Amino acid sequence: MVRDSDDFGAYAGGRLTIDLDAIVANYRLVARRVAPAISGAVVKADAYGLGAARVSPALYAAGCRHFFVVHLEEALRLKPVLPDDAVLYVLNGLVEGAEADCADAGVWPVLNSLEQAWRWRDLAVARNARLSAVVQLDSGMSRLGLSQTEVEALAADPAFFSQTRIELVMSHLACADTPENPANAAQLARFNAMADLLPPTPRSFANSGGAFAGPLFQADIVRPGICLYGVGPITGAPNPMTPVVTLEARVIQLRTIPAGVGVGYGLTFTAPDARRLATISVGYADGWPRRLGGVGAAWFQGVRLPIVGRVSMDSITLDVTALAEGALKAGDFVQMIGPDQPLEAVAADADTIAYEILTSLGHRYQRLYLSQGGLASSDGNP
Ligand SMILES: *Cc1c(COP(=O)(O)O)cnc(C)c1O
């Protein structure tokens, strides 16, 4: 008999624990903070790597009804795990040829260009149905959405608004994590001026940073992502969110090397004196940044264990000399992300942002989901 892949998770090189209660607490904090505006949730990129099929139902149970993904494919995968009154939005727009699948699934595309708007309208006319959608305006980030002249062209076509059902007008902030940046107020003014050209429609402007930037930015619906996953929405400010992720790596071998012996690919580290080393079963193929070689660390019982030498594809060597001899054994787990080493600290060491660390973690770990204070389930390796 072949066992389900979930059974094998215990053999993985590391375990990723995702606290669904913490995600729910973070959602509730945002929802309270932005009321009377409504909080949706951004669950793109598999809920920032944490498992959209697990995270989204937990958010739904907490009252979330607006779920933002990036691709229609992500929306179609999520659709069956959410009740019918959950709205799924496709942020990157309406890909040519996707119109019928999008409409059939009741997914709301974000129309980012006139061309997309006309294709959606043409389908609505052909089906004799007012199909729901969102219009995105480029308020100054120059990434996605209608320009000033395009929004004027749309406004000049009132039939478009009776043939379709534009549920929301949205835009996106370029500098939301730095609220004092004057670009935010400039974008807000521009967004509102552009939206004023269109028939009255609910508005959405704020990501995590914007949701904490005050009522003007919150508009009618906010779109928090990263803060739901435990990362502080404002750069440099105290983090009001509850941590969500713990990552632990399995120790697979220990050794002692004398002075002068090198470690890892390229032998980039040479022991200056006798060192005790531990090799752990996580590497860059598990999303642990290669640039943390010689820079980052893992932790065990409150002791920092520096990474020595390069990060390999499937393993990392730690200097564990600071631990008492025998304190760490093969089969033990060391902390990579957790109370001793928050996600933000890993990102800073790797010279990147927490978003990139989270979304890189991948599916090689055993995944443990915590809910209602206990272990909800464990997903093995696919
Ligand atoms: C990713 C994204 C968000 C969420 O951003 P966070 O900074 O993670 O809160 C919101 N809106 C749009 C359009 C996005 O692409």
Confidence at residue 7, expressed as pLDDT on a 0 to 100 scale: 66
pLDDT at 381 over 80: no
Query: Could you give the CA distance from residue 326 to residue 303 in angstroms, rounded to a whole number?
Result: 14
Output the CA 91–ligand 1 centroid distance in Å. Answer: 9
H or E element in which residue 53 lies: helix 52-61
pTM: 0.96
Q: Residue 382's pLDDT band (boundaries 50, 70, 90)?
A: very low
249 pocket-lining for ligand 1 (C-beta < 6 Å) = no
- Probe ligand 1: pick from 91, 138, 355, max atoms within 8 Å of CB? 91
62 close to ligand 1 (CB < 6 Angstrom): no
Residues 6+ apart with CB under 8 A from 189: none
Our answer on whether the CB atom of 226 is closer than 6 Å to any ligand 1 atom is: yes
**Ligand 1 in contact with 224 (CB < 6 A)?**
yes
Q: List all residues 6 or more positions away from 154 whose beta carbon is below 8 Å from its beta carbon.
A: 114, 117, 135, 146, 160, 198
The whole-number pLDDT of residue 377 equals: 73
Has 79 been annotated as catalytic?
Answer: no
Phi, psi of 289 (to 5 degrees): -60, 130
Q: How far is the CA of 10 from the centre of ligand 1 (A)?
A: 34
Average pLDDT over residues 150-165: 97
pLDDT at res. 374: 84
Task: Choose, from 27, 44, 48, 369, the residue flagged as catalytic.
Answer: 44
Ligand 1 contact, 225 CB (< 6 A): yes
Give yes or no for residue 317 CB within 6 A of ligand 1: no
CA nearest ligand 1 atom 10, residue: 207
Residue 44 among the catalytic residues: yes
Pocket test for ligand 1, best of 139, 207, 234 (most atoms within 8 A of CB): 207
How far does Cα 61 stand from its chain's mean position?
19
Report residue 225 as tokens. 């992502």
Instruction: Compute, in angstroms, the gap from residue 172 CA to the centroid of ligand 1.
Output: 8
pLDDT digits (tens, 9 = 90+) for 74-103: 999 999 999 999 999 999 999 999 999 999
Task: Return mean pLDDT, the chain.
Answer: 96
Backbone angles phi, psi at 272, to 5 degrees: -75, -25
**Does residue 10 have a pLDDT over 80?**
yes
Give the position, in ligand 1's atom list, of the atom nearest the Cα of 48. Answer: 8
Contact, 299 vs 335, CB < 8 A? yes
Produce one character per residue of 135-160: b if its CB has 16 or more CB atoms within 10 Å, e if not: bbbbbbeeebbbeeebbeebeeeeeb
% of the chain beyond a pLDDT of 90: 93
List Cα–Cα distances, 189 to 29, 101, 140, 211, in angstroms: 27, 36, 10, 17
By most ligand atoms within 8 Å of CB, the mutation choice from 74, 108, 171, 172 for ligand 1 is: 172
Query: Residue 297 Cα, ligand 1 centroid: separation in angstroms?
Result: 30
Residue of the nearest CA to atom 6 in ligand 1? 225
Per-residue model confidence (pLDDT) at position 379: 63
Judge whether residue 147 has pLDDT over 80: yes
Alpha-carbon distance 112 to 91, whole Å?
A: 9
Q: Residue 276 has which token pair?
A: 């005790």
**Mean pLDDT for the stretch of residues 227-241:** 95
